[in-house]
A and B are shown apart, each in its own frame.
Chain A
Amino acid sequence: MQTFSGLVSVLIVFVWLGGNQVSPLRPICDLRVLEHFIREAQDSEVIMRGCRGGCGAMKSYFVPLTSVDFAFWEHIDVHEQAVEVQTGLSLLVQALSTAMKAVSNSRLASALDNNISNIHSLSQILHSLDLQQARSTVLPDDSAPASTQSQEVSSLPELLQVQSSFLRGKVRLLLSAAPACQRQNS
Chain B
Amino acid sequence: YHGIFSLPLAFGGYHLAQLLQDETEHIKCFVEGKDLTCFWEERNNLHHQYTFTYSYENKNKMACAVSSLLASNKTIFFCKLPKTPFFTTLDVQVLRDGRMLYTRSLNAENFLFLDPPRNLTVMSSGKEGQLNVSWLPPPLKYMDDSMIYEVRYAVEGSNMGKVEVVKVSTMLVLLGLQSDTRYKVWVRVKPDGVAYKGYWSAWTEPVFGVTPPSDVDPLIVLLVLFIGLILCLLSLTVILSHHKFLLKKLWPDIPTPEHKFPGLFTVYKGDFKEWMSQNNGSMWGRSVHVYTEELPSLLEVLSEVSRTSHDTSQREEEEEKESESSDSGLTDRWRDPPHAHWLMEQLRALQENPESRCQSSLLQSHDTYVTLNQGDNEQQVDDVFEETLPLQTLFTTTGTSSLSTSHSDLGSLQQSSGSGRLSSQSSFEYPNHTWAPKGPGYAYMAVADSGVSMDYRPMSSSRIAELGRHRMYTNDYKNEICPHKWPLSGQYIKSGSESCTGPVW
Contact = CB atoms under 8 A, between A and B. Distances in A.
A174 to B, nearest CB: 10
B194 interface: yes
Contact of B89 (A38, A165, A166, A168): A165
B138 interface: no
A151 B87 contact: no
B251 interface: no
A67 B83 contact: no
Nearest to B197: A168
A168 B141 contact: no
* Among B34, B89, B194: residue with most chain A CB under 10 A: B194
Nearest to B85: A67
A69 interface: yes
Interface of B: 34, 56-58, 83-89, 107, 109, 141-142, 145, 194-196
A161 interface: yes
Contacts of A66: 57, 87-88
A68 B141 CA distance: 14
B141 A166 contact: no
A66 B85 CA distance: 9
14 contacts: A31-B145, A38-B194, A39-B194, A65-B88, A66-B57, A67-B87, A68-B87, A69-B83, A70-B141, A151-B58, A165-B107, A168-B109, A168-B194, A176-B145
B77 to A, nearest CB: 25
Given A39-B194, A67-B56, A67-B85, 5 more contacts: A68-B87, A68-B88, A70-B141, A169-B88, A172-B142
A173 interface: yes
B142 A176 contact: yes
Size range of the chain A interface in the assembly: 20 to 34
Given A67-B56, A173-B142, A168 B34 contact: no
Contact of B86 (A38, A70, A161, A176): A70
A38 B195 CA distance: 8
Contacts of B196: 168
Nearest to B140: A70
Ranked nearest first, the 7 interchain pairs of A and B with the lowest CB-CB distance are A169-B87, A67-B88, A67-B85, A165-B87, A168-B195, A68-B86, A35-B194
A121 B107 CA distance: 26
* Among B34, B87, B107: residue with most chain A CB under 10 A: B87
Contacts of A165: 87-89, 107
Contacts of B141: 70
Nearest to B145: A31
Interface in A45-96: 65-71
A177 interface: yes
A165 B56 CA distance: 13
Contact of B83 (A35, A71, A151, A168): A71
A71 B83 CA distance: 8
Contacts of B107: 165
